[in-house]
Amino acid sequence: MEAIKYLYKTSFKNQLKKSVKKPVTVIYCILAIAYFVWMYFIFRDMVSDIKIDSPEGLVMLFSAMALFFLPGNLITFAKRKGLIFRKSDIHLLFVSPVSPKSILVYAYLRNIILSVVVGLAFIPIGVFWFHVPVYKMILYFLVSQVVENTLEISLMIILYGNERLSKKTLKIIGKVLLLFIVAIVIIGVYLFFEYNKSLAFVGPFLSNPYLQMVPIIGWSIACYRLLFLGATTLNVICTGLYLISTIILFITAYRMSCTGLYYQDAMKFADDYEEARIRGKKGEVAVVGGKKAKLKAANVEYKGYYAKAIFYRQILEYKKRRFFIFGFYNLVCLGIGIAIAFLSKDMEVREYALFVAAGAGAYCTFIFSGFATKWAKELENPYTYLIPDSPLKKLWYATVIEHIRSVIDGLLIVLPVAIVVRMNIVAVILSVLCYVCLQANKLYLSVLSEALLGNTVGTVGKQWLRMIGMSICIAAGIFAAVLFNKYVGIEAAFLGMIMIEVVITAIIAVGASILFKKMEM
């Protein structure tokens, strides 16, 4: 245990020293505080507006969290994933005489600080937003930190460190839990339509007595209901079962034999996590343990000279992929388009139908504005700066394939909405143009963030700058639309919005090419 204490204290101390030495830490702290203060007022008003500012509303929130987070955690434990072991853990703990169970508990408790912070944050939230007495919120904090964590640690040891259950059995357990989550989603979708596409179904669904009878997960919901809403025969019995099951699972985990057969799986997950962490620092979408894309043999005929080589090299890279330039993001765009089209079907949007598709594209662009693009990767390649061509041509040929992909994504978002709200072909083209402009802004803002910030604030700071830049671009379009609508009309408002976005894109592109030239020096 002394090795665990030493590693925990040393890791925490070194991380704290490393953060304090970085001047950007102060900026991040200020931004984080401002963000949470802003979110506090936003959600406070939202809770009041949708009329869940009562103990019943808080119980619904905790019930929803229990339904999705607890099964998700158990699924990762059953797959021997979810616990983060870093290189220092592997080199120090795995070869030490420390009990394998203690190592599992250490890995779990290392992330408990976030749980404690969230639990403490819920105390004032419950008191001021949901009007729950202070003593009940303190009691909730104790239950959540002691009982829930004891239960999860016990289940984690039983699933992660179990050496009797075969991998096939653990996979079956994971699939059963996944089916439970899918069943909850299907029931929720069904009730959504039963309640005339209204969220009014959430209350009756989460307070359903049968839900409280589900072992472990439902029993924890019954415990919340007993704590905040008072005793009933059902929630008293289910809470008793919850506490008894926690004790039984704790004793089972304590007595269970564990010799460290999970070490190999843990080391593989540690390697995957480290690789994903490095990719995440670059702003890429990193999935821990994700399968590597299979590449096939391909060739391309190069036409043209200088900066055009960048374009053809990208074509070659995409031709090696199974689906060429298409990927998961295309499905996301299509899903967003279909969802908005479906919601627009029965809503009174005819007057503002022109803005529905453009708004969907703007929302999609903003959500993914923090992630790195193909162009961001080109900035890391030295040959991009060494090609003897103008910065504007390099900028264009390095991003032209991304513009083509933006046209495809824009069509996937716009067409379903256009069919439902009956937009004409000109409006469809202009909506796609608006989406392409916003995507182009995201590409060129990566140059601005790289040139202006460099390595002073890290990847996160650059992501924030890109998101702020995208917010300004979208806000400018909205402002132009409102202004034109007030003084001219709805069609002029739509055209004005598109014109503003095109002008902004041109300005950012020119600015990016100028800064790109400075980056070459």
100-121 pLDDT tens trace: 888 888 878 777 777 888 888 8
Describe the crossing of helices 134-142 and 217-229 by its angle, rounded to 10 degrees: 160
pLDDT higher than 80, residue 223: yes
> What is the number of H-type helices and E-type strands within the chain?
23, 0
Q: What percent of the chain has pLDDT over 70?
A: 79
DSSP for 154-216, please give it: HHHHHHHS-SSS-HHHHHHHHHHHHHHHHHHHHHHHHHHHHTTS-GGGHHHHHT-HHHHTSTT
| Predicted pLDDT at 243 | 92
- Number of Cβ within a 10 Å radius of residue 284: 15
76 backbone dihedrals φ, ψ, rounded to 5°: -65, -35
pLDDT of residue 247: 92
Is the model's pLDDT at 61 over the cut of 80? yes
Helical ranges in 380-424 per DSSP H? 382-386, 391-421
Residue 471 to residue 445: CA distance in whole angstroms: 12
What span, in angstroms and rounded, lies between the C-alpha atoms of 104 and 160? 8
82 torsion bin: left (phi>0), alpha (psi -120 to 50), beta (else): left
Residue-averaged pLDDT of the chain:
76
Share of the chain above pLDDT 90, in %: 2
Q: Which amino acid is at 137?
A: M
* pLDDT score of 241: 92
Residue boundaries of the structural domains of the chain: 1-49, 53-268, 308-520
Contacts of 228 (CB under 8 A, 6+ apart): 55, 58, 59, 132, 136, 140
pLDDT of residue 130 exceeding 80? yes
The pLDDT of residue 454 is 62
pLDDT of residue 334 exceeding 80, the answer is yes
Pure H helices in 323-368: 328-345, 353-367
| pLDDT tens-digit map of 343-398 | 666 555 555 556 776 777 776 776 666 565 665 666 666 666 667 777 777 777 77
pLDDT of residue 82: 66
pTM of the model: 0.64
Residue 423 DSSP label: -
Q: Which of 88-102, 105-119, 261-275, 444-458 has the lowest average pLDDT?
A: 444-458
Q: How confident is the model at residue 198 (pLDDT cuts 50, 70, 90)?
A: low
Q: Which of 10-24, 38-52, 62-76, 85-99 has the highest mean pLDDT?
A: 62-76
